[in-house]
Amino acid sequence: MAILQRILAYLRPYWRRVTVAYVALLIGTAMQLAVPRLVEYVIDSGLVAADLRVVTLGAVAIVAAGLLQGAFTFVRSYLFTFLAEQVAFDIRNDLYRHLQALPFSFFDRAHTGQLMSRATEDVNSIRRFLMFSLRSLVQSAGMLIVVSIILFATHWRLALLSLSVMPLLAWTAIHFGRTIRPMFLAVQQQFGVMTNVLQENLAGARVVRAFAREEDERAKFDQAIQRLYERSMDTVRRSAFYFPLMTLLSSLGLALILWYGGRQVALGNLSIGKLTAFYFYLAMLSQPIRLLGWVVNSLARALASGERIFEVLDTRPAIASPPNAVRLTPIEGHVSFEHVWVRYPGANEDALADVTFTAEPGQRIALLGKPGSGKSTLTALIPRFYDVTAGAVCIDGVDVRDLDLEVLRRQVGVVLQDTFLFGVSIRENIAYGRPDATDEEIEAAARAAQAHDFITALPQGYDTVVGERGVSLSGGQKQRVALARALVMDPRILILDDATSNVDTETEHTIQRALDELMVGRTTFIIAHRLVTLKRADLILVFDRGRIVERGTHETLLRNGGLYAEIYDLQLRDQEDLAEVAD
C-alpha cells in the first residue's frame, strides 16, 4: 500500500483532471447501467403488451444512452491517457534529476543497465497501470457494489444464488496478486540484467572484436535473455491458469441465473424482462470480474516497478550543499589537507591515511605513485566528488563540506583520466562547463590545449559532431578537447589526472609549455606517470598505499635517493638530455 500511495501521489497536482475523468467514468457507467432497465421496460411493457410505441421509445432511449456513454467514454479515455503520460513524464524527470544529485560513490556500485531499465520499462509499467488498470479497478469496484444492489432489489434469492461465487473469485484474485508480484519483480530485475549486458557489449564493441570474444559475449547475452525468458514464462504460466479459472467461476453465476431464473419465470414469479435485465447486469458484473485478474496482474507489475524506482529515489545524496552553504567567489586557491583519511564502503584498507599538506595559491602540486596508491582519490576530494572519512579538506580556510557545491565545482577545472566526450559538436563539448563562452574563448582554450590545428582540419571544424563518447577522435585528440573544456572555465584550481597520458611525447611537451603559462595564478594538481611532466612542480608528493612517503621538489627528492629517485632512474636517466634539448 505504501508503494501504491506513492505512485498515486503523482496524480495530486492534476486533481482537477482526475475529478473530471472520474465524473466522466461515473456518467458513462450510469448510461451503461441504464440499458438493461430499458431492455426490461421494452420487453415487459412493449413486446409482451404488444405496445409498439413503447418499443420505439425504448429503442430511441437505448441509442441515446449509447451515444452519451460513448461521449463520456471518450472524455474518460483521453483524460486517463493524459494523466498516465504526465505521471510517467514526472517520474522520469524526478528519477533523472535525482540521479544528477547522487555522488560518484552511487555510480561506483550501480549498473547502467539497471538504471536504464528503471527509467524505461519500470516507468512504462506504471504508465500502463494508470492508463488502464487504475480506471478498471475503480470501475470494477463501483460496478460490483451498484450492480449487486440492483440485483438484490430485483430478486434477492436469485441475486444471492448468482453472487455466491463472488467470495471465491475475490480470494482467487487476492491470492494471485500476492504470488504474481514477486514474480514480476524478478522479471523486472532480470530485464535490468539483460539491459546491462547489452549496454556493456555495445559500449565495449571495439574491445570485444579486438580480443575475438564475440562468441563469449553472445553466450553471456543468451544466458541473460534465457533467464529473462524463463522468469517471464513463469508469470505467463501462472496467468494462463488464472484467467480461465476466473472465467469459469464467473460463468457459474450466469448458469445459475438461467437454471433458477428460468424456473421462476415458468412459475410466474419473475417476468421475462426482469430475467433478461438480471442476465445483462450479471454479464456486466462478470466482465470486470474477469478483468480483475488482468488488473491484479498489472497492479503487481506496477508495484514491482515502483519498488525499484523508489529504491533509487529513496537513496539520499551523501554529498550535497549544506544549509547556509558558503559561496566562495572567487576562490583564491589555498588548499589544505588536514589529517585526511578515506576508506571506501566495503574496502578493507584506507585509500588515504593521515594525509596532511598545504598548497598555496598558484602552486603546482605533483602527485606520483603506483596505481591505487591514492592519487586520484586525493584530487577527487577537492571538488568534493567524495567525502573524507576523517580529517578535513579546506579551500581558503573553509571546509569543502561547508561550501556551495555548484559554486565550488564551477571554479575547479578537472581533466579526468577517463576522457568522456558527448555526441555533440566539438564546440559544444569545449563549452560544456560554460555554455555562454564566446567563440574567441573557445578557440583560445583549444589553442592552449594544442587542439586548434586538428579541429580546423576536420570537415566542419569546431562544428564537427563527434561520435558516441568521442569515438571518431583519437585518444590524444579526445584528451586535448577535454583539456580545452577545463581551461575554458578559467578555473582557480586545476586538476590534471594523467591528462597527457594519451598524447605522444612531442605533443605532450608542446601542451606542457602552454600549461606553464596557463598555470600561472592557478593552484594546479598534476597526476602523471612521466616524470618530465612533474619536474617543474613546486611540490611533489610521492604516495604508497594511501600515505605520503616522500615530499619535496624534483632536485630534493633526487638527492634523497628514495622511491622518487628509483622511478626517475628507471624512466628518465636515458631521456634527460633529449628533454633538456627540447626545452
**C-alpha pair distances (Å), 195 with each of 100, 237, 346:** 21, 24, 26
Quote the pLDDT of residue 391: 92
Shared domain for 256 and 343, answered yes or no, is: no
Establish if 557 belongs to a structural domain.
yes
Euclidean distance between CA atoms 31 and 7, whole angstroms? 30
Quote the pLDDT of residue 189: 77
Task: Say yes or no to pLDDT of 170 above 80.
Answer: no
Nearest to 304 by CA among 179, 185, 178, 134: 185
- The distance from CA 442 to its chain's CA centroid, rounded to whole angstroms, is 32
Half-sphere exposure of 363 (CA within 13 A, CB side): 17
Interval 390-404: pLDDT, tens: 999 999 999 999 999
Helix axes 52-101 and 134-154, enclosed angle (nearest 10): 150
Task: Say yes or no to pLDDT of 548 above 80.
Answer: yes
Average pLDDT over residues 32-49: 78
Establish if 329 belongs to a structural domain.
no
Rg for the chain, CA atoms, rounded: 35
Shared domain for 544 and 434, answered yes or no, is: yes
Task: Say yes or no to pLDDT of 313 above 50.
Answer: yes
Single residue among 263, 282, 313 that ends a domain in this structure: 313
Backbone φ/ψ region at 77: left (φ over 0), alpha (ψ -120 to 50), beta: alpha
Number of structural domains found in the chain: 2
The proportion of the chain whose per-residue pLDDT surpasses 90, expressed as a percent, equals 11
Stronger pLDDT, 498 or 121, i.e. the higher one: 121
The range of the structural domain enclosing residue 466 comes to: 335-582
Q: What's the CATH code of the domain at 271?
A: 1.20.1560.10
Parallel/antiparallel/unpaired status of strands 412-415 and 493-497 = parallel
Establish if 327 belongs to a structural domain.
no
Cβ(146)–Cβ(33) below 8 Å: yes
Establish if 318 belongs to a structural domain.
no
Shared domain for 425 and 282, answered yes or no, is: no
Shared domain for 341 and 304, answered yes or no, is: no
Highest average pLDDT, of 22-36, 46-60, 293-307, comes from 22-36
Nearest to 337 by CA among 31, 100, 546: 546
Sign of CA dihedral 519, 524, 528, 532: positive
Q: What's the CATH code of the domain at 428?
A: 3.40.50.300
Quick check: helix, strand or coil at residue 254? helix
Shared domain for 151 and 31, answered yes or no, is: yes
Residue 335: beta bridge partners?
Answer: 359, 395
Task: Say yes or no to pLDDT of 583 above 80.
Answer: no
Shared domain for 342 and 481, answered yes or no, is: yes
Shared domain for 389 and 500, answered yes or no, is: yes
* 275 — pLDDT class (breaks 50, 70, 90): confident
Quote the pLDDT of residue 398: 92
Quote the pLDDT of residue 532: 65
Task: Say yes or no to pLDDT of 250 above 90.
Answer: no
Establish if 325 belongs to a structural domain.
no
Euclidean distance between CA atoms 31 and 268, whole angstroms? 30
Measured at the CA of 345, the angle between CA 94 and CA 367, to 5 degrees, comes to 100
* 352 — pLDDT class (breaks 50, 70, 90): very high
DSSP 436: T
Lowest mean pLDDT, pick from 220-234, 412-426, 511-525:
511-525
Establish if 356 belongs to a structural domain.
yes
Establish if 173 belongs to a structural domain.
yes
Quote the pLDDT of residue 204: 66
Task: Say yes or no to pLDDT of 60 above 50.
Answer: yes
Grid coordinates of 337: 589537507
Grid coordinates of 285: 458484473
Stronger pLDDT, 189 or 495, i.e. the higher one: 495
Establish if 320 belongs to a structural domain.
no
Single residue among 283, 313, 343 that ends a domain in this structure: 313
Shared domain for 231 and 370, answered yes or no, is: no
Shared domain for 284 and 410, answered yes or no, is: no
Task: Say yes or no to pLDDT of 577 above 50.
Answer: no
Cβ(344)–Cβ(546) below 8 Å: no
Shared domain for 230 and 375, answered yes or no, is: no
Stronger pLDDT, 211 or 28, i.e. the higher one: 28
Shared domain for 139 and 276, answered yes or no, is: yes
Cβ(368)–Cβ(531) below 8 Å: yes
Parallel/antiparallel/unpaired status of strands 364-369 and 539-544 = parallel
Average pLDDT over residues 128-148: 81
Grid coordinates of 333: 586557491
Instruction: Please give the helix or strand (H or E) that residue 524 lies within, else none.
Output: strand 523-527
Count the Cβ atoms, other than its own, within 10 Å of residue 393: 21
Q: What is the mean pLDDT of the chain?
A: 81
Cβ(422)–Cβ(413) below 8 Å: no
Average pLDDT over residues 181-209: 73
Shared domain for 419 and 506, answered yes or no, is: yes
Average pLDDT over residues 64-90: 90
Average pLDDT over residues 529-557: 84
